[in-house]
Structures are given as C-alpha cells and as structure tokens.
C-alpha cells in the first residue's frame, strides 16, 4: 500500500468518526400535549455530547410546527419570561437537560393539536450543517426517565 493511499484512508476514517451528530445522544425526549385551543407547546430532552469535540446547536426544526426555536425560561424581577437562545454549545462529555422552567424547544404555529400517545420528529441543526432528528413522544407530563 502506498503512503498516499494510506493517508487518504486515514483521512476518510477521521472524517467518518468525527461526525458531530453521531456523538450527540438524545434521550428522554418529549413534547407537552397541547391544551385545547392552544397552538404552541414546548419540547424537552437530555442532550449529551459523547464525542471529543464541542458541538454547537444553531437551530431546531419540526414539521409539526410553523416556527421552532430554542428558548430559555428565566425569572426576572419575580416574573417568568422566555427568550430565544441563538446557539447552544455542548462541550465533550457535557450533558444539557432541556426541562420545564429552563432551556426548551419552543414549538409555535402548530399545524394541529398534539395529543398523548403520538410522537413528532424534532431536528437539531448543528453548526457544521449536520442535523440530527429524533422522535419526541407527546405526553401531558414528563414520563419516568428509566424503565426497568
């Protein structure tokens, strides 16, 4: 084997193992069922970077909603407010929990009501133009994280 072929193979291997979406592990993904008449809701999940390079989420998308964004709930002067989050950087080994009262995926202009038992796909858009889509189950409350 020539050195050149070896270098090419090595580069291909590096490229295939460094895909950020492979390193991003999403679990406990759920979306709150919509109350009657409401056309917006939020999605939650735990997002873990199991790779060795930082991963930056630069957006979210979902076919079920006309507008999807990353949001953060904060308490300001005793009032709970939500603000958009443009970027979310996840360091190697870091796990970020999107949960009620904190970071969440905001789903607005829903195309229809979301009821428990169904699931919708939500995609995380990553900085390097990769995207990772996961099924989020619709539930009224968070389901227990572990089933034994």
Nearer to Cu ion among residue 82 and residue 89 (C-beta) = 82
Nearer to Cu ion among residue 73 and residue 118 (C-beta) = 73
Give the shortest CB-63-to-Cu ion separation in angstroms: 19
| Radius of gyration (C-alpha) of the chain in whole angstroms | 18
Regarding 103 and contact with Cu ion (CB under 5 A), the answer is no
Full DSSP string of 1-64: --HHHHHHHHHHHHHHH--HHHHEEEEEEEEEPPPTT---EEEEEEEEE-SSS-EEEEEEE-TT
Take residue 74 and report the two structure tokens written for it: 């904060």
- Which of residues 106, 107, 114, 139 is near Cu ion by CB under 5 A? 106
Give the shortest CB-71-to-Cu ion separation in angstroms: 3
Give the shortest CB-113-to-Cu ion separation in angstroms: 18
Site for Cu ion in 68-87 (CB under 5 A): 71, 82
Closest CA relative to residue 31, chosen from 139, 145, 143: 139
Give the shortest CB-115-to-Cu ion separation in angstroms: 20
Count of residues that interact with Cu ion, criterion CB under 5 A: 3
The three-class DSSP label of residue 138 is strand
Contact positions vs Cu ion (CB under 5 A): 71, 82, 106
């Amino acid at each position: 084997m020539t050195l050149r072929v070896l270098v090419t193979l090595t580069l291909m291997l590096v490229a295939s193992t460094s895909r950020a979406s492979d390193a991003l592990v999403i679990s406990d993904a759920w979306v709150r069922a919509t109350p009657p008449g409401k056309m917006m809701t939020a999605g939650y999940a735990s997002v873990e970077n199991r790779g060795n390079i930082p991963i930056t989420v630069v957006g979210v998308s979902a076919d079920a909603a006309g507008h999807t964004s990353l949001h953060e709930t904060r308490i300001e002067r005793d009032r709970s407010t939500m603000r958009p989050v443009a970027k979310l950087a996840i360091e190697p080994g870091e796990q970020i929990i999107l949960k009620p009262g904190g970071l969440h995926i905001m789903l607005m202009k829903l195309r229809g009501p979301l009821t428990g038992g169904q699931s919708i796909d939500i995609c995380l858009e990553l900085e390097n133009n990769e995207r990772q889509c996961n099924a989020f189950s619709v539930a009224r409350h968070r389901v227990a994280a572990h089933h034994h």
